[in-house]
Structure 1
Amino acid sequence: MVGITGPGSGLDEAVERERERTDGAGALGEFLESLDTAGRREAALVLHRRVCRRSDEDVAGPALAALAGQELGWSTAESDVLFARLLGKDAEVAPHELRQSFRSLVPIALAAAEQSGEFDRPRVRSLRAAAESLRVHRSDEFAALRDRMDVLLRQAVRFRPGRLPRHVLDALDDYGPAMRAAHGALLTGAGVPEFLSHCGTLEQPRATRSWRKRSAELLATAANGAEVVRGLLGGIVAQPAHRVSEPNPWGADIPTLAASTNTSLVRGLLWAALDVDAEWVVPMAGAVALHAGTGLGGSGGMCRSQPLATAAVAVLGACEGARGEEAVQWLGRLPKKVRNRTVAKGIAKALETVAARSGVTPSMLRERGVATLGLDGRGVREARLGAFTAELSVREPGTALLSFRGPEGRLLRTAPKEVREAYAEELKEVRGAFKETQALLAAERARLEEQLAAGTTWPAEDWHRYYVDHPVTGAVARALLWEATADGGERWTAGLPERTGGGWALAGADGTACPVGPGARLRLWHPLRAGDEEVAEWRAAAPEGAERGPFKQVFREVYPLAPEEVAAGAHAHRFAGRVLRYGQARALMAERGWTGNHLGYFSDGWSAEMARELPVPGDVPVDEATCWRARLLVELVDEGASGDGVARLCSTGPVRFERRAGTAGARGAWSEAALSDVPALLVSEALRDVDLFVEVAAEGPDPR
């Protein structure tokens, strides 16, 4: 930072005379002309500060414009002062004031940048985005400023040995300074600045082939390049959302993970990671997608960083071979956490892309890539910690247990003191594996419940390998009721999986066992497809607490359509007209995968249609499947809502269904469908969700 002494009291007098016009127009101009070059630079700095502080703009603005057109020999330090006043933690002008005084404050800063040779690229880049927005929405006068910034930004970057250029990991957010502090020497290694500078040029979610080729070349020559990529991506995963120092043209300073320049850098690092041969690559991309795509505060559709989440999802979709299988597992976990609709569409597209490369459906690819996490055929993983053995195991109906066995064979539920003290790092790894197992079991429970709703069928070979015999999925699958057919679906036999000497059989409610032959096909048993007598038989035979299995199955609520509902056409009205507590209902809808606009006292906030895409059978190719979605109308209720614009109560409308047929390489448009055309299983599952909303979030007693 340079000191600013000013050109003396003469400037104040000239400004005052100019304002009062007692001496006629031009008093300030005459004073500035009387100064030498250094004096005019000092005067420009003083005038610029006055405009930043919202004083004398009517006089100082034209004077600054005149000085901006002169060759004043600006230094890099002086150029930095001008830009630092506009953006950053020490800015002297608020973002909304910067937009108002853009044409007064920015030209002199650009002139200083052009004359100094080296300038603050991140701030120029940020101002350029603001200028483009103002040009579009206010006036074409900003086009010239935008074009000047483009010329500056096209200038070649100067790389000096042992130094990281300022535009790499800049200070317009918390992420850049944190990474510079954490990885100082690593970031200045040979070739690293050039590699990171290239990463920062990626302004789109996807990298082109030529961009990736150049990235691979630079990464190969960068000292400890893989370590740099891992460290910086790990930093963004740990970065809390915060307000960044950029002029938002829309006036909303929404917290995010990084400002635009560092967002581009991380986006480039994600794509560069694909050229690193290491096991951490896919989990790191998945972690970035999860952290960036999760809503602010852990929930909601406004995610921490949509650009980073979208790029991370695209990177997962670009994985091939063994990495593709691992990427599918991450893509399968994300929809339960990520509510942003744009990111969610990217997840679905990435899943389809990876599956198409593999020649199987997305569902099949997910089931083939479920990790075993080092568990053996018994579902157990052991780690020796001195005289003790840590034992991680999975048990039916899909729970993970961590215990410690002592030298005498005694089983402990917590780690003994000697293990905590002598094997802290190993214990940390064991506990991390335990958490990973819990998360995978939760994902598998959710996946199997989707397949129950979709009516997916599996050949016996896949059922054995990927379900009942799998160390993780098996703990969930073996606790569920299945049914098998050997005659193409003419007759189904239900039972619980039971291991036999020759393989597996389904044990019926009456104690009989039906072997699962090699030509059989299997599916999860659903009470809607069974007769009342069979349902009653299984419920009577179910052990105590069966409703608390992996998910509700035998005691699952079913919603068959009544004849009068079918005759009504396309709308189901059985849950219409209920008043719900909106916040609670909205949270339940998000948990069950229903998305839509928010309600509130604002434009278009009076009503919304919440929609959920219903599961597609996992054995049907994407291009051949008919997709279904349910839509529920909700409307704002005045009663019980305050004047702060937030909806407190809502009312429910009818439920309707839409379909979209798959076509080769494309999807058709959604169209409304009659209730009679919708698969009964999907109708039942959608209405089950709506009944949950009504039962839990109802305001007052149920009128039924």
Structure 2
Amino acid sequence: MVGITGPESGLDRAVGRERAEGGAGALREFLDSLDAAGRRECALALHLRVCRRTDEDLAGPALAALARQDLGWSAAEAELLLGRLLGRAAQVAPHELERSFLALVPVALAAAERSGGYDRPRIRVLRAAAERLRVFRNDRFAALRDRMDALLVSPVRVEPGLLPAHLLDGNDDFGPAMRAAHGPLLTGPGVVEFLGHCAEVGKGRATRSWRRRAAELLAGAGAGPEAVRLLLEGVVAQSEHRVADPNPWGTAVPTLASEGNTTLLRGVLWASLDVPARWVVPLVGAVALHAGTGLGGSGGVCRSQSLATAAVAVLGECGDGRGEEAAQWLGRLPGKVRNRTVARGITKALEAVAARSGVTPSMLRERGVATLGLDGRGIREVRLGAFTAELAVREPGAALLSFLDPEGRPLRSAPKEVRETRAGELAELRAELKRLKGLLASERARLEEQLTAGTTWPVDDWHRYCVDHPVTGAVARVLLWEVTEDGGARWTAGIPERTGGGWALAGADGTACPVGPGARLRLWHPVRAGGEEVAEWRAALPGGDGSRPFQQVFREVFAPSPEEAADGVSGRFAGRVLRYGRARALMTERGWSGNHLGYFRDGWSARMTRELPVPGEVPAAGATRWRAGLPVELVDEGPDADVTPRLCVTGPVRFDRGTGPAGARTAWTEAAVADVPPPAPLGGAPGRGAVRGGGGGGGLRDGRSLSGEPWGLREGRGASPGSP
């Protein structure tokens, strides 16, 4: 602003005369006497008065007239006007912005249109508000909405050596950090144009035309791939924090980046598919894991649902040599990501990668299991001076870190010399031990999923990815398998044992069935076996399943009752009163999802559901899907009812049928119990561990409940809710 002799001083006198003379045109006369620069300065002053609700009755009409004139606006002035409306420096409250929308917004849009420099995230927020106001008020807002649509699709004006304000904006901690750390690289030749295109990616998946243009810009930017890597590494290192998003009507939930920077990062994620570097898949997977993890490290409210969803979708697009690695990252995510929207995307992406490979998702994930440097014995030896450390995996899937003295004798713990002189190497080994334990846990869960799905393996894959694998083999070799060499007409069960020429399956009677070159194998399941075979194996393993990775031979199987077949639903586990907190935690751990119960509207009942594994070798994309549902209702417990729900009661289990890719919002239709094909994995039902006072558990083992196993629906084909 100029001093007291400039336009603003004259503006004060003109406004005073206008008010004193009752609208005699003094303000208009004064504005007409100024040049473009003077009128522009007055427009800024009038805009601030309307924001502060000062002289609004006079300033509003004058501001509307100035908004229609070409005043030579600069990008800095456009940024100032938009910043007064939204963001950290906003001069107007959200409800006042809506009330004075037609007075405040047109001049800001005029400045953006004339200067070509403007904050696109703020324009997006104003555009949404204009649409909402158009619906609820009148069509005067439609013209503003259309002008903003034109601004949002117009090319970004790029000045050499300068990064536009809307790229890596200052509404969060991420943008300023990236500008400070990598400013010269981000403003290099072609990089700004590339980032500008990334900031224009749509809310859904990137279109083919967008990706083609992104690839062209990336190829023309020498430092483009490096910019992609640095920005993705930056967001993986960024902790959640409250951002100053320009949307004043949003919920201020901590996240990783502002709305504008999140959009930019989503574009960077999609563009990374065209970077031919080995770091792409691990870095995109790390973004998915970091963004999808709940606030504080757990929970369903993830750090950034938008970024997690985009990263998962990008992993689902990986093909050629990247497919197996992408499948490994997608397989790691469910253990950390609890958000249902992201979880649906994970399932859909994994099956897309598997469909391109022609195998089931679980088989694809097995192909890329890391060995962590273990040899064929399942051991990795590391020399630490005169001592030796051994990282090993032992059946039935235990990870160990042990130490040997110079003579090869085992030690009870790390020797003092190693702790003092090799502390860094020792810390790395302990980190590898932790990773190995996590990998073994994943393999146990994955093999149990294959058990319920009935996945079959070609013999070469079974050798390479199961029994001969340094990690998976420790779990697979203690399980009961069955083999066929005649296309599935006859299956022979046994426990794998090495022979001189390869592998054989040792039967319960001591005989061995060689695994030939044309064989196919699958995990044995009591739901497919006759009663005599089950009894024979249980007699051959008197110790039960305690030494096995999960319940298999002693897995409970329930035949459907006549009442269940007639009713179409199963009331076997209905009417159980459960401790709600424990029951929900167990169900969530085992893949069930549903609304919370509580003393609020619509919190009195919920339906917990779990989508079931697709059986056999059918490519998941075209298979019929099944879903189990267990209704739960809130039980009032008296004086604590207004604090936290403590008890719930279960209803009958129902099954739904659906088609289409997993993770999609498919329309499910209810199916009768008799229609569900075996083995119909349900994932468990409530048992003793959740029943108040230790009541009956329906035959569940050692109080554990809500497990991961099938419910059978025909004679001899049952379900076992008893496995954790």
TM-score range for the pair, normalised by the shorter chain length: 0.7 to 0.9
Measure the CA separation in 2 of the matches of 1:4 and 1:254: 43
CA distance in 1, matches of 2:469, 2:525: 23
Specify the alignment match of 1:191 in structure 2. 190
Structure 1 window deviating more from structure 2 (231-240 vs 304-313): it is: 304-313
Q: Aligned ranges for residues 470-485 of structure 1 at < 5 Å? A: 470-485=469-484
**Distance apart, 1:467 and its partner CA:** 0.8
- How many Å separate the matches in 2 of 1:495 and 1:28? 100
Asked if the contact 1:528/1:560 (under 8 Å) is kept, the reply is no
What RMSD over aligned residues (CA atoms) do the two structures have, in Å? 3.9
CA-to-aligned-CA distance 1:301-341 (integer Å, 9 cap, x gap): 44333332232222222222221121122223333433444
Residue equivalent to 1:656? 654
Structure 1 segment 480-629 matched on structure 2, within 5 A: 480-485=479-484, 492-509=491-508, 512-530=511-529, 542=541, 546-547=545-546, 549-567=548-566, 569-600=567-598, 604-622=602-620, 625-629=623-627
> Aligned partners of 1:50 and 1:541: how far apart in 2?
88
Instruction: After TM superposition, list the pairs within 5 Å mapping 1:344-355 onto structure 2.
Output: 344-355=343-354
Give 1:14 shift: 7.7
1:670-697 C-alpha deviation (Å, 9 max, x unpaired): 3322223324532xx52x62225xx444
Distance 1:515 1:236, change over 3 A: same
- After TM superposition, list the pairs within 5 Å mapping 1:79-94 onto structure 2: 79-94=78-93
Unaligned runs of 5+ in 2: 698-724
1:251-300 CA distances to partner (integer Å, 9 max, x unpaired)?
A: 43333333333223212222222222222111112222222333444444
Mapped partners of 2:8, 2:46: distance in 1: 12
Whole-angstrom CA distance in 1 between matches of 2:80 and 2:644: 43
Q: 2: CA distance between counterparts of 1:634 and 1:303?
A: 25
Q: Supply the distance in 2 between the matched residues of 1:248 and 1:256 (Cα, whole angstroms).
A: 14
State the distance in 1 between where 2:168 and 2:488 align: 61
Per-residue CA deviation, residues 419-444 of structure 1 (Å, 9 max, x unaligned), is 77877876676555544433332222
Letter aligned with residue 658 of structure 2: R
Q: Is the 8 A contact 1:128 1:146 kept in 2?
A: yes
Tell me the secondary structure at the aligned position of residue 652 of structure 2: strand
The count of residues paired between Structure 1 and Structure 2 equals 693
Secondary structure in structure 2 of the residue aligned to 1:571: coil
In the TM superposition, residue 228 of structure 1 has moved relative to its aligned partner by 1.6
Query: Identity over the aligned pairs, expressed in percent?
Result: 70
- Structure 2 counterpart of 1:690: 685
CA distance in 2: counterparts of 1:130 and 1:577, whole angstroms: 49
Are the aligned partners of 1:641 and 1:648 in contact in 2 as well (CA < 8 Å)?
no
Alignment of 1:329-340 (within 5 A): 329-340=328-339
Instruction: Map 1:309-320; keep pairs closer than 5 Å.
Output: 309-320=308-319
Out of 418-427 and 254-263, give the one that drifted further.
Answer: 418-427
- Asked if the contact 1:44–1:67 (Cα under 8 Å) also holds between the matched residues in 2, the reply is yes
Partner of 2:110: 111
How far did 1:474 drift?
0.8
- In structure 2, do the counterparts of structure 1 residues 668 and 261 end up closer, same or farther at CA, with 3 Å as the change threshold? closer
Sort the Cα spacing of 1:531 and 1:139 in 2 relative to 1 into closer, same or farther, 3 A.
Answer: same
The equivalent position to 1:24 in structure 2, one of 2, 5, 22, is: 22
Contact 2:358–2:619 (CA under 8 A) maintained in structure 1? no
**Residues 429-444 of structure 1: pairs in structure 2 closer than 5 A:** 433-444=432-443
Q: In 2, distance between residues paired with 1:140 and 1:428?
A: 66
Letter in 2 for 1:206: R
TM-score by length of 1: 0.85
Deviation sequence 1:568-618 (CA, Å, 0-9, x none): x22111222334344443332222111233344555444332211111224
2:550 is paired with a residue whose SS is: coil
Contact kept, 8 Å, 1:389 with 1:405, in 2: the verdict is: yes
- For residues 118 and 430 of structure 2, what CA distance do their matches in structure 1 show? 49
Quickly say closer, same or farther: Cα 1:135–1:423, change in 2 above 3 A: farther
Question: For the Cα contact (< 8 Å) 1:397–1:476, is it kept in 2?
Answer: yes
Distance 1:35 1:99 in 2: 32
Say if 1:364 and 1:618, in contact at 8 Å, map to a contact too. no
The 2-side partners of 1:645 and 1:107 are apart by 50
Q: Distance in 2 between matches of 1:582 and 1:287?
A: 34
| Offset of residue 229 of structure 1 | 1.1
SS of equivalent to 1:392 = strand
Aligned counterpart, 1:173: 172
Partner of 1:370: 369
Give the C-alpha shift of residue 364 in structure 1: 3.0
2:675 pairs, out of 667, 677, 681, with: 677
CA distance in structure 1 between the partners assigned to 2:641 and 2:134 by the alignment: 36
Q: Distance in 1 between matches of 2:295 and 2:597?
A: 19
Deviations 1:217-273 (A, max 9, x none): 322332333222111111222223333333547643333333333223212222222
Q: Secondary structure at the match of 1:691?
A: coil
Mapped to 2, the partners of 1:650 and 1:16 lie a distance apart of 70
1:241 equivalenced with 2:240 (yes/no)? yes
Instruction: Give me the whole-angstrom Cα distance separating, in 1, the residues matched to 2:660 and 2:532.
Output: 38
Q: Deviations over 1:177-232 (max 9, x none)?
A: 12112322322233222222222222244333333333233223323332221111
SS in 1 for 2:565: helix
User: Where does 1:118-133 land on structure 2 (aligned, <5 Å)?
Assistant: 118-133=117-132
CA contact (8 A) 1:505 1:515 kept: yes
Secondary structure of 2:285's match?
helix
TM-score under structure 2 length normalisation: 0.83
Which stretch has the larger CA shift, 642-651 or 181-190?
642-651
- Which amino acid is the alignment partner of residue 506 of structure 1? L
Q: How does 1:182-331 map to 2 (within 5 A)?
A: 182-248=181-247, 251-331=250-330
Matched, 1:143 2:138: no
- CA distance in 1: counterparts of 2:227 and 2:381, whole angstroms: 33
Q: Per-residue displacement from partner, 1:606-656 (whole Å, max 9, x unpaired)? A: 433221111122423336643221011123445459787975543321111
Give me the whole-angstrom Cα distance separating, in 2, the residues matched to 1:640 and 1:440: 45
State the SS of the aligned residue for 2:498: strand
2:630 counterpart residue number: 632
Q: Distance in 1 between matches of 2:30 and 2:438?
A: 69
Contact 1:175–1:257 (8 Å) recurs in 2: yes
CA distance in 1, matches of 2:426, 2:222: 33
CA distance in 2, matches of 1:32, 1:180: 44
Deviates more, 1:191-200 or 1:228-237: 191-200
**Alignment partners' CA distance in 2, 1:423 and 1:196:** 45
SS at structure 1 position matched to 2:522: strand
State the SS of the aligned residue for 2:684: helix
Hey, what's the Cα distance between the residues in 2 that align with 1:420 and 1:26? 90
Maintained 8 Å contact 1:363/1:618: no
Residues 312 and 624 of structure 1: CA distance in aligned 2, closer, same or farther (over 3 Å): closer
1:379 equivalenced with 2:378 (yes/no): yes
Change in 2 beyond 3 A, CA 1:136/1:477: farther
**1: distance between equivalents of 2:550 and 2:26?**
79
Which stretch has the larger CA shift, 148-157 or 166-175? 148-157
3-state DSSP class of the match of 2:679? helix
Q: Please say if 1:702 is aligned against 2:695.
A: yes
Deviates more, 1:326-335 or 1:365-374: 365-374
> Counterparts of 1:9 and 1:644 in 2: how far apart (Å)?
61
Query: Which residue of structure 2 aligns with residue 445 of structure 1?
Result: 444
Contact residue 640 and residue 648 of structure 1 kept, 8 A: no
Give the direction of change, closer, same or farther, for the CA distance of 1:429–1:227 in structure 2 (3 Å limit): farther
